[in-house]
Structure 1
Amino acid sequence: MSEVKQKERKLTIARAMAEGIAQEMRIDERVFVMGEDIGRLGGVFGNTRGLFDEFGSTRIRDTPISETAFVGAGVGAASDGMRPIVELMFVDFFGVCMDAIYNLMAKNTYFSGGNIPVPMVLMTSTGGGYSDGGQHSQCLHGTFAHLPGMKVVAPSNAYDAKGLMIAAIRDQNPVVFMFHKSLQGMGWLGTEPAAIVHVPEEDYVVEIGKANVVKEGTDLTIVGITSGVHHGLKAAELLAAEGVSAEVVDLRSLVPLDRDTVLASVAKTGRLIVVDEDYHSYGMSGEIIASVAESGVQMKASPQRVAYPDIPIPFSRPMEQWALPNADKIISAYKKMRDK
């Protein structure tokens, strides 16, 4: 067995997140976690599993079902020198605590003239595909990326999840960490095998604001985040059989947004498809396309976006699956631009 294979250690995103949090908690006593069911249960999506046994109830704090209260408490703790990680179980629940998120967490550093930083991580689940209805299945990338004062990250694989989590905890700014439920590695949610990758045991940082070209190509650029990256890779494989070379860019971070990597790719390929499980209008997909248009990069065809239609997410599985982005929709978008 080779040395590389001996060192390979594949983790799910859930395990990678928990490992990154644990490593930071061991070296910095200011780091603690709070949220609903994150203690003995280990989080509904597994991202705090094992932490309660090691750190106890003082640093792994189960909270009452009051998002406004514990998000607000996290802002206060961060402003007072702690480094809280607060879980908002579903991103869809942001409505009941948005004042604490956007009028406190995101703005207090600015309001204080930079004297009171808010080094807080707000981690929250996104995405559907498993028939949990419109109150538990949204992505809402654009909602948070649109509002200044917060960094926003969203990993597509376990390596990035650990590195981005450690980077987020160490950052002096508030960071919204958006993890997609279908990529967590929790069997009951359905698991994307390609999200389970090698994760080093040591601590490391994935730079916030730096995209990753996960597959190089020459004919088409596919830009995605979280689940959109995997749809893009599957579409690229199918297009390759037709002689089309697709490049796939994983944004990894929405704020800051790595426009340079996207522009360099589109300048090479001349074609662009943006994939996002968030809603079609007013979102990340439109921002990427606008950035390319404003740059003056020469295009061979009009850019396309594959996103969630502007409808409430259906509970019915056939209806939800009809609405979700997938590889076939990306291929159809490519054929649309090819045939014009």
Structure 2
Amino acid sequence: MPETRYIKAVNQALADAMEADPTVFLIGEDIGAAGGSFKATRNLLEKFGPERVYDSPISEAAITGMAVGAALTGMRPVVEIMFMDFTTLSMDMLVNQAAKARSMFGGQGSVPMVLRTPHGGGLNAGPQHSQCLEAWFAHVPGLRVVCPSNPADAYGLLRAAIDDPDPVIVVENKALYAMKGDLPDAPEDRERIEIGKGRIVRPGRDATVVSYGAAVAMAETAAETMAEEGIEVEVIDLRSIQPWDESLVLESLTRTHNLVVAHEAVEAFGVGAEIVARMADIGFDQLDGPILRVGAPFAPSPFGKTLEDAYRPDANQIVAALRRTLA
């Protein structure tokens, strides 16, 4: 099983989906000849042609609107929005059209589209190119939201999203694009991952850390630090943010009795807040300490490297939260 970079796994998932289904096509800015800003669509124009790899004008609203219309007529468009920050320009089509179509048409129509977009910092791209806005979309009934943490999941979740009959937002942390991981050579051996199912990355008995995307690696590092002190931390990768694997988190909390939720997004009103509220409701009797969140401060992401490094959550903050809840 060869090592594959995260960005190559995304590219492979797109190619395999287009080979398998002629209704799948790609649309976005500079995704054709240029291969996308991060090269996720490299060589796909040459392989599938301009009718299936469509270089769009610079208009996120038009791109998403075209995808919604195409999906309603039986196509399976995959939209690339260059940075998650620019999904602000797609909100009407996503939130008022794509997310509502199945309900408004009484289940007689659906919007089987995917919107891929990178989020997060680490590249010193400044406050308009570094935001993590997944909580916005997770709040909207009718949208599904996934966030892979490794190459195999980047492949498996994207394939599942393209197969899904409803709109799915696939959030890719751009700091992970160079990450290497195993991905089988044969297409039939590459796993699709069920949307809504998380995984236990590292088993433990003393505390649970729930995370997704780039925060999973931070949680693993924190768990290794705590293991040096004899404290075994269970790390859960949600994979899917909406829906999220509530039962897996509750089962883990029942074993460990302590819970920390970590993500790169701003802590206030984030994904972590929903998980904390839900576990406080259904898992309160299992708690031995407070449920704590680790996230970015309530401020725009800085541009300068030292400031961004201080702004982004890290493993040390997760360790501090673990020590606090265990105390």
Q: TM-score, normalised by structure 1?
A: 0.93
Match for residue 327 of structure 1 among 315, 319, 327: 315
- Indicate the residue corresponding to 2:76 in structure 1: 83
SS of 2:154's equivalent in the other structure is helix
Amino acid at match of 2:182: H
- Are residue 222 (structure 1) and residue 209 (structure 2) matched? yes
- Indicate the residue corresponding to 1:4 in structure 2: none
Amino acid at match of 1:205: R
Deviation at 1:337, TM superposition (A): 2.1
Deviation at 1:277, TM superposition (A): 0.8
- Are residue 251 (structure 1) and residue 238 (structure 2) matched? yes
SS of 2:51's equivalent in the other structure is helix
Match for residue 315 of structure 1 among 296, 303, 320: 303
Deviation at 1:297, TM superposition (A): 4.0
- Are residue 114 (structure 1) and residue 101 (structure 2) matched? no
- Indicate the residue corresponding to 1:132 in structure 2: 125
- Indicate the residue corresponding to 2:264 in structure 1: 277
Distance 2:174 2:155 in 1: 16
Query: Are the aligned partners of 1:68 and 1:97 in contact in 2 as well (CA < 8 Å)?
Result: yes
- Indicate the residue corresponding to 1:33 in structure 2: 26
- Indicate the residue corresponding to 2:187 in structure 1: 202
- Are residue 336 (structure 1) and residue 324 (structure 2) matched? yes
Amino acid at match of 2:226: L
- Indicate the residue corresponding to 1:162 in structure 2: 155
Deviation at 1:332, TM superposition (A): 1.1
- Indicate the residue corresponding to 2:136 in structure 1: 143
Aligned residues: 323
Distance 1:73 1:55 in 2: 19
Distance 1:86 1:50 in 2: 17
Query: Are the aligned partners of 1:125 and 1:179 in contact in 2 as well (CA < 8 Å)?
Result: yes
Which deviations, in whole Å up to 9, do the C-alpha atoms of 1:200-230 show, x marking residues without a partner? 2324311100000010000110110001101
Deviation at 1:114, TM superposition (A): 1.2
- Are residue 46 (structure 1) and residue 39 (structure 2) matched? yes
Match for residue 12 of structure 2 among 19, 30, 34: 19
Distance 1:237 1:49 in 2: 37
Which deviations, in whole Å up to 9, do the C-alpha atoms of 1:257-281 show, x marking residues without a partner? 1100001011100111111111111
Query: Are the aligned partners of 2:258 and 2:326 in contact in 1 as well (CA < 8 Å)?
Result: no
- Are residue 9 (structure 1) and residue 2 (structure 2) matched? yes
Amino acid at match of 2:142: G
Query: Are the aligned partners of 1:123 and 1:178 in contact in 2 as well (CA < 8 Å)?
Result: yes
Query: Are the aligned partners of 1:122 and 1:175 in contact in 2 as well (CA < 8 Å)?
Result: yes
Query: Are the aligned partners of 1:20 and 1:165 in contact in 2 as well (CA < 8 Å)?
Result: yes
Which deviations, in whole Å up to 9, do the C-alpha atoms of 1:265-312 show, x marking residues without a partner? 111001111111111111111111111111134111101111011111
Distance 1:307 1:11 in 2: 29
SS of 1:77's equivalent in the other structure is helix
- Indicate the residue corresponding to 1:67 in structure 2: 60
SS of 1:102's equivalent in the other structure is helix
Deviation at 1:177, TM superposition (A): 0.4
Query: Are the aligned partners of 2:133 and 2:265 in contact in 1 as well (CA < 8 Å)?
Result: yes
Cα distance change of structure 1 residues 230 and 297 upon mapping to structure 2, 3 Å threshold: farther
- Indicate the residue corresponding to 1:239 in structure 2: 226
Distance 1:166 1:130 in 2: 27
Amino acid at match of 2:59: S
Amino acid at match of 2:199: N
Distance 2:199 2:38 in 1: 25
Q: Which runs of 5+ in 1 are unaligned?
A: 1-7, 186-194
Query: Are the aligned partners of 1:219 and 1:247 in contact in 2 as well (CA < 8 Å)?
Result: yes
Distance 1:307 1:132 in 2: 19
Cα distance change of structure 1 residues 297 and 252 upon mapping to structure 2, 3 Å threshold: farther
- Indicate the residue corresponding to 2:199 in structure 1: 212
Deviation at 1:118, TM superposition (A): 0.4
Deviation at 1:338, TM superposition (A): 2.9
User: What's the Cα RMSD here?
Assistant: 1.0
SS of 2:317's equivalent in the other structure is helix
Q: TM-score, normalised by structure 2?
A: 0.97
- Indicate the residue corresponding to 2:253 in structure 1: 266
